Structure 1
Amino acid sequence: MTLEDRIVLSIKRRKSVVVLRSEVASLGSSAQVGRVLAKLVANGTLVRVSQGVYAKTRLNKFTKALVPAAPFEVIAAETFRKLRIEVQPGRLAREYNAGRSTQVPMDSVVSTGARRIRRKIQVGTKTVKYEKNSE
């Protein structure tokens, strides 16, 4: 069984959509794992979300194209949870959820509190934006 087969099997067995590089790093050397993950991204099995963070893909039943296996918001939330980064919804989302606004926020904005985060989380054209020092 090749390293690629072992990594693909490991990824398929996981319930979560997000896969961290550190979760499959023990299967081979750093360079080998990097090459296999790059190959899986190139053939569409995975989508790169951030440095060392990947998301599974699935076949869209209408367009027959490979798309991420979950919506962007789910992937971003799972990424933050796996990286142990505490975030809250942004100010506009909090106002909408509390009923103080009827305008639905279009951007994915999260509040990081006093913590400084520079990690870029992106799937396709959607990107997470950060707010700092919010209430």
Structure 2
Amino acid sequence: MIRSVTMRRGEIVLRSDFEQMGSQSQISRIFSDFVKEGRLVRLGHGVFAKARISSLTGKPVPREPLEVLAEETLRRLHIDAQPGQAQRDYASGKSTQVPVQSTFNTGCRRISRKLILGNHTIRYENNYRARS
């Protein structure tokens, strides 16, 4: 399992990637051990990121920022998501206010999955109510 995790392309590891290797409880137990060892960081239910040890704190941290990890996670889960309105306004120059929270627009799709790292949470905006 260790070799399989380290050899995987990308930074995100999904528990569903290992369904063929054992039961859900066995895989969850192994991932829990990987988190304790500092090999992985848990982002959400069944979603883990590859980790490195922080030179400042000595604790495991993801190798990429949460925004990059969230984008890869949504892509791996086949969810079409674009940057949120605040990020788009800032990138286009319509606003000079730097967005504090990462937000993704999921179109007409509602998402209940939470992606959390420390005290940072990914938020979702959608136009679900606009759909008739």
Common fold, TM-score beyond 0.5? yes
Unaligned runs of 5+ in 2: none
| Pick aligned residue for 1:14 from 8, 12, 22 | 8
Counterparts of 1:62 and 1:52, CA distance in 2: 28
Contact 2:35 2:41 in 1 (8 A): yes
Please give the per-residue CA displacement for 1:46-74, whole angstroms capped at 9, x wherever unaligned.
11111111111012234433211111111
Q: Aligned pair 1:119/2:116, yes or no?
A: no
User: Equivalent residues in 2 for 1:9-88 (5 A)?
Assistant: 9-88=3-82
Counterparts of 2:95 and 2:48, CA distance in 1: 34
Code of the aligned partner of 2:95: S
In the other structure, the counterpart of 1:91 is 85
Identical amino acids, percent of aligned pairs: 43
Aligned length: 129
Contact 1:47 1:54 in 2 (8 A): yes
Please give the per-residue CA displacement for 1:69-103, whole angstroms capped at 9, x wherever unaligned.
11111111110010010111111111111111111
Counterparts of 2:98 and 2:115, CA distance in 1: 21
Structure 1 runs of 4+ off > 3 angstroms?
Answer: 61-64
Contact 2:38 2:59 in 1 (8 A): no
TM-score by length of 2: 0.89
Counterparts of 1:76 and 1:118, CA distance in 2: 14
Contact 1:57 1:69 in 2 (8 A): yes
TM-score by length of 1: 0.87
Counterparts of 1:101 and 1:31, CA distance in 2: 47
C-alpha displacement of 1:24:
1.7
